[in-house]
Amino acid sequence: MRLELIAATTETRKKQEEMLQKFESKTENKIEGNERNNIVKFDELSSRLQSIEEGAEKFYGNTMSLIARDTNNAASSKTMKQFKLRNVFENVNTFYEHASKFSEKKDHHNINWIVGIHRLNNNLRLYLFCEPKAASDEWSIRTVLEFKVVGPNQSVLIRKRENCYQNSLGAGFRHFLAWEDMEKWFLVDGNLSVEVKVTIIETTGLGKEKIRVFDESQKDVSDVILVVGDTKFYVLKMYLAAQSSVFKTLLLGNFTESKQSEVKLSGIDSDDFHYFLEVLYGEPAIDDSNVEDVLLLADMYDAPTAIRKCEEFLLKESEKDLEKKLEIATRCNLEKLKDNCGSGLSYIRSTDFFD
């Protein structure tokens, strides 16, 4: 029965994606064909689809820990490094040729992200820049980017692309939209609303120094190999099962995976998983560069000790600002951190009143 319900959930997601793709294609074709008066306004439909998706995600999250065969698919969705950047660029109607504006830096996964707009050859250009806070000489961030401009009555235009960042140069669209069409259809009181949905697929060269090894040198004290991408982690089933209900189901349950000497885990980053294992094995591996990603894995694998350690770090040691902490607390349901951030924000607002 659970497998049938998960199949239905997957089919629902597929239909949502197909419908949104049809709307996006329809919007772009009309713009390219100069039929500007028929830009799609589908805020009500988007809201309905979002409601369906949220319901599907809630059901999917509740069932994934019970069905070990679907653990990897669930991991791909729940631990996915995905976020949205929103910015309103003011006085865009006064832009001259070659003029540019940039958003403030936003920290996600220890990377600063900056949205930029530019007027060139009477086209609107949209870009997204990234600046890793800690990176080796050779680093990369493979992403899927979805750029969206939002006009009156929630009229939208969406364009997607994949990009692999290997430097801090921007990625996006050189010809997102003709400037006159942007002014006609998307400006509100001279301002332009831009959203960028970012999905990080893979990173290299961003990890900090490792404390513990889980390589082949640990073969004699391990009984299973967890495979993440091209990296193999030699670990003990019973130890991980004691730390995580999902690992207990996956490695000790009555499923094919529990009988295998190697178990492949999909949809996660090998560096993030290494730090997560270090935390499970009692190492002081958490810092501001990895706490967000370790916490996502701890939440997905239902590892309460690791969750508690991440929350304690964010409460007592982290230098992240209150807004970022509250975002993390809300995503992972950290009640103590939520209360702490709420009190801190209230204090800031009250002191600002008297400045």
- Establish if 343 belongs to a structural domain: no
- Whose tokens are 């001279």? That residue is 190
- The answer, yes or no, to whether residue 349 has pLDDT greater than 50, is no
Same domain for 220 and 200, yes or no, is no
What is the DSSP secondary structure assignment for residue 261, as one 8-state letter? S
**Exposed, middle or buried by CB within 10 Å (0-12, 13-18, 19+), for 130?**
buried
Pair (267, 181) in one structural domain: no
Residue 329 lies in a domain: no
pLDDT in tens, 288-316: 999 999 999 999 999 999 999 999 999 99
211 has pLDDT over 60: yes
Q: What phi and psi values does residue 57 have, to the nearest 5 degrees?
A: -65, -40
Helix (H) or strand (E) holding 134: none
- Are residue 289 and residue 191 in the same domain, yes or no? no
Q: Which residue has the higher pLDDT, 244 or 18?
A: 244
pLDDT at 89: 97
143/223 same-domain check:
no
Question: How does DSSP classify residue 285?
Answer: -
261: domain CATH number is 3.30.710.10
Q: What is the pLDDT of residue 134?
A: 80
| Contact by Cβ (8 Å): 31, 177 | yes
Are residue 84 and residue 190 in the same domain, yes or no?
Answer: yes
Instruction: Count structural domains, the chain.
Output: 2
Which residues fall within 8 angstroms of residue 169, CB to CB, at 6 or more apart? 129
pLDDT at 11: 52
Alpha-carbon dihedral of residues 125, 31, 43, 119, nearest 10 degrees? Answer: 20
Contacts for 220 with CB less than 8 Å, ≥ 6 apart? none
Contact (Cβ atoms closer than 8 angstroms) between residue 10 and residue 4: no
Give residue 151's Cα distance to chain centre.
Answer: 25
Q: Are residues 220 and 275 in the same domain?
A: yes
Q: Could you tell me the CATH number of the domain that includes residue 124?
A: 2.60.210.10
The average pLDDT across 121-126 equals: 96
Q: Tell whether the model's pLDDT for residue 257 goes beyond 90.
A: no
Q: What's 188's DSSP letter?
A: B
- 116 backbone dihedrals φ, ψ, rounded to 5°: -130, 145
pLDDT of residue 352: 42
For residues 206 and 141, give the distance between their C-alpha atoms in angstroms, rounded to a whole number.
Answer: 9
Where does 205-272 show beta strands of DSSP type E?
A: 224-228, 231-235, 262-265
**Statement: residue 66 has pLDDT above 70:** no
CA–CA distance, 329 with 306 (Å, rounded to integer): 14
pLDDT, residue 346, reads 53
- Residue 81 is predicted with a pLDDT of 85
Instruction: Answer for the pair 309, 295: CB distance below 8 angstroms, yes or no.
Output: no
CA atoms of 341 and 350, how far apart (whole Å) = 14
Cβ–Cβ < 8 Å for 126, 173? yes
Domain that holds residue 227: 216-320
- pLDDT digits over 87-102, tens only? 999 999 999 999 999 9
Closest CA to 87 of 107, 98, 101, 108: 101
**Of 204, 232, 254, which residue constitutes the final position of a domain?**
204
pTM for this prediction: 0.65
Helices (H), the chain: 2-32, 43-64, 71-78, 179-185, 237-243, 245-252, 256-259, 270-280, 291-300, 304-316, 322-332, 335-354
Lowest mean pLDDT among 138-152, 178-192, 218-232, 244-258: 244-258
Arithmetic mean of pLDDT, 307-334? 93
Query: By the 8 A CB rule, do 243 and 305 touch?
Result: yes
- Positive or negative: CA dihedral 41, 44, 49, 54: positive
Residue 7 scores a pLDDT above 80? no
Same domain (yes/no): 190, 220: no
Average pLDDT, the chain: 80
Structure confidence at residue 34 (pLDDT): 40
Separation of alpha carbons 273 and 282, rounded Å: 14
Residue 333 has pLDDT above 50, yes or no: yes
